[in-house]
Homo-oligomer: A and B are copies of this chain.
Amino acid sequence: MTSINTLSIDAAGLSAASTAYQARQAIRRGDWVKHTSGLAARNAQGNIAILPAALASDFLRFCQRNPKPCPLLAVSEPGDPMLPTLGQDVDIRTDVPLYRVWKKGVMVDELSDITPLWRADLVTFVLGCSFSFEHALIEGGIDLRHVKEGKNVAMYKTNIQTVAAGPFHGPMVVSMRPMSAANAIRAVQITARVPAVHGAPVHLGDPALIGISDINKPDFGDAVDILPGELPVFWACGVTPQAVVMAVEPEFCITHAPGYMLITDLLNSDLSLA
């Protein structure tokens, strides 16, 4: 886990909101162009999609219809780069460590500041991130193999179809975490309480039942071993909306770079129902 102390911020001496604010300020200054895993660990992080207003209402309906893969934390006013519901002085043009710029589904640039590209018709979508529910699982005493092994989580395309809205449609992408049956049961309970970050699993057990032909060959991320006595447990994944957006090949679109998330003032515990 990357220590926030390398930013000269003493997390122990700061409130979570203050830690998150200072982390965003460091990112804004260009002092932190790295992934955000473990940064301000008590705070919720967000996946970012910035779309032209012409597509935004369709995409908003898509998220509303597919809350497990697309759990909305915030939607900006058109043209407004600020996200006041997510924290103090959150400016989406500067507060993500690394952005990707897309034209017609092709990545054309990676930048740490998109201020020059901002337009009056852009709408920002912030979606819950699995870091938050992994935090809840680990706090609940459930070890996650990919975390222990320093790997990216294993992700798979499935035959589970999302509910379409306008041009947006496509299969659900899931992440997989192997665990014992007892932990799988606990994990259902824990993650059901965080619907703002994917919620309860969408499947467990036989991968073939959701169209995964080889569990050892994830479509994204890294394979992890499934030990004897373990079940694979599958959650809807934030890669789903990215894949769905890219399939539409919007004329212009900005996302975060994978793992380089927006740190919000929301606590992970704020996202929990109980």
A residues whose Cβ falls under 8 Å from a Cβ of B: 181-182, 184-186, 188-189, 192, 200-206, 209, 229, 231, 274
Contact = CB atoms under 8 A, between A and B. Distances in A.
Contacts of A231: 204-205
A184 B204 contact: yes
8 contacts: A181-B203, A181-B206, A184-B204, A185-B202, A188-B189, A189-B189, A192-B192, A204-B204
A227 to B, nearest CB: 12
Contacts of A209: 181, 229
Given A205-B231, A209-B229, 6 more contacts: A181-B205, A185-B202, A188-B189, A188-B192, A188-B200, A189-B189
Stoichiometry, as copies per complex, reads 2
A146 to B, nearest CB: 21
Contact of A206 (B185, B186, B188, B229): B229
Most buried by B among A181, A192, A201, A202: A181
Nearest to A160: B182
B229 A201 contact: no
A69 B194 CA distance: 28
Contacts of A185: 188, 200-204
A61 B202 CA distance: 38
Most buried by B among A185, A186, A205, A274: A185
Contacts of A200: 185-186, 188-189
A18 to B, nearest CB: 33
A274 B192 CA distance: 13
A153 B142 CA distance: 31
* A-B complex: 9 closest residue pairs judged by Cβ atoms: A188-B188, A189-B192, A181-B203, A181-B204, A181-B205, A205-B231, A185-B201, A209-B229, A185-B200
B188 A202 contact: no
A56 to B, nearest CB: 31
Contacts of A206: 181, 229
A205 B203 contact: no
A231 B206 CA distance: 9
